[in-house]
Amino acid sequence: MSGNRLLTLSVATVVTMITGYSLAAFYAPMDADQGFVQKIFYLHVPMAIVALCGFVFAGICAVMHLRTNESKWDLRSYVAIHVSFILGVGVLLTGAIWSKASWVHWWVWDEPTLVSFLIVFVLYATYTPLRFSIEDRERQSRYASVFAITAGAFVPLNFVAVRAATQTVHPRTFDRTGNLPPHMATAFLVCMVGMTLLYVLLWQYEMTHKSTVAQLRALKRKLGDDDGARARRSAAPELQVR
Protein backbone atom coordinates (compact mmCIF):
# COMPACT_ATOMS: atom_id res chain seq x y z
CA MET A 1 0.00 0.00 0.00
CA SER A 2 1.29 3.47 -0.92
CA GLY A 3 2.20 6.05 1.69
CA ASN A 4 -0.77 8.26 0.77
CA ARG A 5 -3.26 5.41 1.21
CA LEU A 6 -1.73 4.46 4.54
CA LEU A 7 -1.95 8.07 5.66
CA THR A 8 -5.60 8.26 4.60
CA LEU A 9 -6.37 5.04 6.43
CA SER A 10 -4.57 6.31 9.54
CA VAL A 11 -6.53 9.57 9.57
CA ALA A 12 -9.83 7.75 9.00
CA THR A 13 -9.05 5.38 11.86
CA VAL A 14 -8.17 8.15 14.30
CA VAL A 15 -11.22 10.25 13.40
CA THR A 16 -13.62 7.30 13.60
CA MET A 17 -12.27 6.08 16.94
CA ILE A 18 -12.33 9.56 18.48
CA THR A 19 -15.91 10.01 17.25
CA GLY A 20 -16.99 6.61 18.50
CA TYR A 21 -15.57 6.92 21.98
CA SER A 22 -16.80 10.49 22.29
CA LEU A 23 -20.28 9.20 21.52
CA ALA A 24 -19.78 6.40 24.04
CA ALA A 25 -18.69 8.81 26.75
CA PHE A 26 -21.11 11.71 26.21
CA TYR A 27 -23.94 10.59 23.90
CA ALA A 28 -24.76 7.05 25.03
CA PRO A 29 -26.85 6.91 28.21
CA MET A 30 -25.44 5.67 31.50
CA ASP A 31 -26.23 2.07 32.36
CA ALA A 32 -28.77 1.88 35.19
CA ASP A 33 -27.08 -1.03 36.95
CA GLN A 34 -23.35 -0.61 36.32
CA GLY A 35 -23.05 3.14 35.90
CA PHE A 36 -20.03 4.66 34.18
CA VAL A 37 -17.96 1.45 34.32
CA GLN A 38 -20.26 -0.01 31.69
CA LYS A 39 -18.62 2.35 29.17
CA ILE A 40 -15.78 -0.15 28.86
CA PHE A 41 -18.29 -2.22 26.88
CA TYR A 42 -17.64 0.04 23.86
CA LEU A 43 -13.96 -0.96 23.91
CA HIS A 44 -14.13 -4.55 25.12
CA VAL A 45 -16.84 -5.95 22.87
CA PRO A 46 -15.71 -4.44 19.52
CA MET A 47 -12.15 -5.52 20.30
CA ALA A 48 -13.30 -9.09 20.98
CA ILE A 49 -15.41 -9.28 17.82
CA VAL A 50 -12.66 -7.87 15.60
CA ALA A 51 -10.02 -10.14 17.14
CA LEU A 52 -12.14 -13.25 16.52
CA CYS A 53 -12.95 -12.14 12.97
CA GLY A 54 -9.22 -11.59 12.41
CA PHE A 55 -8.53 -15.20 13.39
CA VAL A 56 -11.14 -16.36 10.88
CA PHE A 57 -9.60 -14.09 8.22
CA ALA A 58 -6.22 -15.72 8.93
CA GLY A 59 -7.78 -19.11 8.28
CA ILE A 60 -9.19 -17.92 4.95
CA CYS A 61 -5.75 -16.63 3.93
CA ALA A 62 -4.27 -19.98 4.95
CA VAL A 63 -6.74 -21.77 2.67
CA MET A 64 -5.61 -19.55 -0.20
CA HIS A 65 -1.98 -20.34 0.61
CA LEU A 66 -2.55 -24.09 0.42
CA ARG A 67 -4.48 -23.68 -2.82
CA THR A 68 -2.05 -21.37 -4.60
CA ASN A 69 1.21 -22.08 -2.75
CA GLU A 70 1.93 -18.34 -2.89
CA SER A 71 3.95 -17.00 0.03
CA LYS A 72 1.97 -13.74 0.18
CA TRP A 73 -1.06 -15.60 1.55
CA ASP A 74 1.03 -17.22 4.26
CA LEU A 75 2.36 -13.80 5.24
CA ARG A 76 -1.16 -12.36 5.34
CA SER A 77 -2.32 -15.20 7.56
CA TYR A 78 0.65 -14.79 9.90
CA VAL A 79 0.15 -11.03 10.27
CA ALA A 80 -3.62 -11.43 10.77
CA ILE A 81 -3.02 -13.83 13.66
CA HIS A 82 -0.35 -11.55 15.13
CA VAL A 83 -2.64 -8.49 15.14
CA SER A 84 -5.63 -10.47 16.46
CA PHE A 85 -3.48 -11.89 19.24
CA ILE A 86 -2.48 -8.36 20.30
CA LEU A 87 -6.14 -7.33 20.37
CA GLY A 88 -6.85 -10.52 22.33
CA VAL A 89 -4.53 -9.30 25.10
CA GLY A 90 -6.58 -6.11 25.24
CA VAL A 91 -9.81 -8.12 25.38
CA LEU A 92 -8.61 -10.13 28.39
CA LEU A 93 -7.37 -7.03 30.21
CA THR A 94 -10.53 -4.99 29.65
CA GLY A 95 -12.65 -8.02 30.45
CA ALA A 96 -10.86 -8.48 33.78
CA ILE A 97 -11.39 -4.80 34.64
CA TRP A 98 -15.07 -5.02 33.74
CA SER A 99 -15.44 -8.26 35.68
CA LYS A 100 -13.85 -6.74 38.78
CA ALA A 101 -16.13 -3.71 38.65
CA SER A 102 -19.30 -5.71 37.96
CA TRP A 103 -18.79 -9.03 39.74
CA VAL A 104 -16.15 -8.11 42.38
CA HIS A 105 -13.81 -10.75 40.93
CA TRP A 106 -11.11 -10.33 38.29
CA TRP A 107 -12.20 -13.58 36.67
CA VAL A 108 -15.28 -15.81 36.80
CA TRP A 109 -14.42 -19.37 35.82
CA ASP A 110 -18.01 -20.57 35.50
CA GLU A 111 -18.77 -17.96 32.83
CA PRO A 112 -18.59 -19.71 29.40
CA THR A 113 -18.01 -16.54 27.36
CA LEU A 114 -14.91 -15.58 29.31
CA VAL A 115 -13.46 -19.07 29.46
CA SER A 116 -14.15 -19.76 25.78
CA PHE A 117 -12.28 -16.63 24.70
CA LEU A 118 -9.39 -17.60 26.97
CA ILE A 119 -9.28 -21.03 25.30
CA VAL A 120 -9.11 -19.39 21.86
CA PHE A 121 -6.40 -17.02 23.09
CA VAL A 122 -4.27 -19.84 24.54
CA LEU A 123 -4.74 -21.85 21.34
CA TYR A 124 -3.34 -19.04 19.21
CA ALA A 125 -0.58 -18.38 21.75
CA THR A 126 0.96 -21.65 20.54
CA TYR A 127 0.95 -20.56 16.88
CA THR A 128 4.22 -18.62 16.80
CA PRO A 129 6.31 -21.08 18.87
CA LEU A 130 5.05 -24.01 16.80
CA ARG A 131 5.61 -22.18 13.54
CA PHE A 132 9.19 -21.20 14.20
CA SER A 133 10.08 -24.56 15.68
CA ILE A 134 10.17 -25.78 12.07
CA GLU A 135 13.34 -24.69 10.24
CA ASP A 136 12.36 -25.63 6.70
CA ARG A 137 10.51 -22.62 5.29
CA GLU A 138 8.21 -24.59 2.99
CA ARG A 139 7.14 -27.03 5.69
CA GLN A 140 6.85 -24.18 8.16
CA SER A 141 4.40 -22.22 6.03
CA ARG A 142 2.41 -25.33 5.10
CA TYR A 143 1.99 -26.53 8.69
CA ALA A 144 1.23 -22.98 9.86
CA SER A 145 -1.56 -22.79 7.28
CA VAL A 146 -3.05 -26.07 8.48
CA PHE A 147 -2.96 -24.75 12.04
CA ALA A 148 -4.59 -21.45 11.02
CA ILE A 149 -7.38 -23.25 9.15
CA THR A 150 -8.10 -25.67 11.99
CA ALA A 151 -8.03 -22.98 14.68
CA GLY A 152 -9.99 -20.55 12.49
CA ALA A 153 -12.76 -23.12 12.04
CA PHE A 154 -12.84 -23.60 15.82
CA VAL A 155 -13.59 -19.90 16.45
CA PRO A 156 -17.16 -19.76 15.04
CA LEU A 157 -17.94 -23.19 16.50
CA ASN A 158 -16.82 -21.91 19.88
CA PHE A 159 -18.95 -18.79 19.45
CA VAL A 160 -22.06 -20.82 18.61
CA ALA A 161 -21.48 -23.09 21.59
CA VAL A 162 -21.25 -20.11 23.93
CA ARG A 163 -24.39 -18.53 22.52
CA ALA A 164 -26.21 -21.82 23.05
CA ALA A 165 -25.19 -22.00 26.70
CA THR A 166 -28.25 -22.03 28.96
CA GLN A 167 -26.56 -20.55 32.03
CA THR A 168 -24.51 -17.39 31.66
CA VAL A 169 -23.91 -14.20 33.60
CA HIS A 170 -22.05 -12.46 30.79
CA PRO A 171 -24.18 -9.73 29.14
CA ARG A 172 -25.43 -10.36 25.63
CA THR A 173 -24.71 -7.58 23.17
CA PHE A 174 -27.32 -8.64 20.62
CA ASP A 175 -30.34 -10.86 20.96
CA ARG A 176 -33.81 -11.19 19.50
CA THR A 177 -35.24 -8.47 21.73
CA GLY A 178 -32.67 -5.88 20.71
CA ASN A 179 -31.21 -5.02 24.10
CA LEU A 180 -29.29 -1.90 22.97
CA PRO A 181 -31.17 1.42 23.08
CA PRO A 182 -30.75 3.57 19.93
CA HIS A 183 -28.15 5.93 21.43
CA MET A 184 -26.08 3.04 22.74
CA ALA A 185 -26.39 1.17 19.46
CA THR A 186 -25.19 4.19 17.48
CA ALA A 187 -22.13 4.64 19.71
CA PHE A 188 -21.40 0.93 19.61
CA LEU A 189 -21.58 0.71 15.81
CA VAL A 190 -19.23 3.69 15.36
CA CYS A 191 -16.80 2.14 17.87
CA MET A 192 -17.09 -1.13 15.99
CA VAL A 193 -16.17 0.56 12.71
CA GLY A 194 -13.28 2.33 14.40
CA MET A 195 -11.93 -0.92 15.86
CA THR A 196 -12.22 -2.60 12.47
CA LEU A 197 -10.29 0.23 10.85
CA LEU A 198 -7.66 -0.04 13.58
CA TYR A 199 -7.23 -3.74 12.85
CA VAL A 200 -6.91 -3.10 9.12
CA LEU A 201 -4.43 -0.29 9.78
CA LEU A 202 -2.23 -2.38 12.06
CA TRP A 203 -2.40 -5.30 9.64
CA GLN A 204 -1.49 -3.10 6.70
CA TYR A 205 1.39 -1.41 8.52
CA GLU A 206 2.88 -4.76 9.51
CA MET A 207 2.40 -6.14 6.00
CA THR A 208 4.14 -3.08 4.55
CA HIS A 209 6.98 -3.36 7.06
CA LYS A 210 7.58 -7.06 6.40
CA SER A 211 7.37 -6.59 2.62
CA THR A 212 9.88 -3.74 2.77
CA VAL A 213 12.27 -5.79 4.93
CA ALA A 214 12.00 -8.71 2.49
CA GLN A 215 12.76 -6.42 -0.45
CA LEU A 216 15.78 -4.95 1.34
CA ARG A 217 17.12 -8.41 2.11
CA ALA A 218 16.66 -9.48 -1.50
CA LEU A 219 18.45 -6.32 -2.65
CA LYS A 220 21.35 -6.96 -0.25
CA ARG A 221 21.67 -10.52 -1.52
CA LYS A 222 21.67 -9.30 -5.09
CA LEU A 223 24.30 -6.65 -4.35
CA GLY A 224 26.38 -9.26 -2.53
CA ASP A 225 26.17 -11.60 -5.51
CA ASP A 226 27.12 -8.76 -7.88
CA ASP A 227 30.10 -7.79 -5.71
CA GLY A 228 31.22 -11.41 -5.56
CA ALA A 229 30.96 -11.77 -9.34
CA ARG A 230 32.98 -8.59 -9.90
CA ALA A 231 35.60 -9.80 -7.43
CA ARG A 232 35.90 -13.12 -9.27
CA ARG A 233 36.21 -11.38 -12.62
CA SER A 234 38.91 -9.02 -11.34
CA ALA A 235 40.83 -11.91 -9.80
CA ALA A 236 40.75 -14.01 -12.97
CA PRO A 237 43.66 -12.28 -14.83
CA GLU A 238 45.88 -12.57 -11.75
CA LEU A 239 45.23 -16.27 -11.60
CA GLN A 240 46.15 -16.63 -15.26
CA VAL A 241 49.44 -14.74 -14.81
CA ARG A 242 50.41 -16.91 -11.89
Task: Point out the residues of the chain with pLDDT beneath 70.
Answer: 1-2, 32, 161-179, 225-242
Q: Give residue 242's pLDDT.
A: 46
In sequence order, which residues have a C-beta less than 8 Å from that of residue 94 and are 6 or more positions away? 40, 43, 44, 47
Q: Give residue 177's pLDDT.
A: 40
Q: CA 18, CA 74: separation in Å to the nearest integer?
A: 33
Q: Give residue 137's pLDDT.
A: 87
Q: Give residue 187's pLDDT.
A: 92
Alpha carbon 237 to its chain centroid, in Å, reads: 58
- Could you say which of 3.20.20, 1.25.40, 1.20.272, 1.20.120 is the CATH number of the domain covering 3-241? 1.20.120
Q: Give residue 241's pLDDT.
A: 42
Q: CA 156, CA 171: separation in Å to the nearest integer?
A: 19
Q: Please write the tens of the pLDDT for every residue from 107-134.
A: 878 777 788 888 899 999 999 999 999 8
**In the chain, what is the straight-line distance between the N-terminal and C-terminal CA atoms, in Å?**
54
* Dihedral, CA of residue 134, residue 139, residue 140 and residue 145, to nearest 10: -140
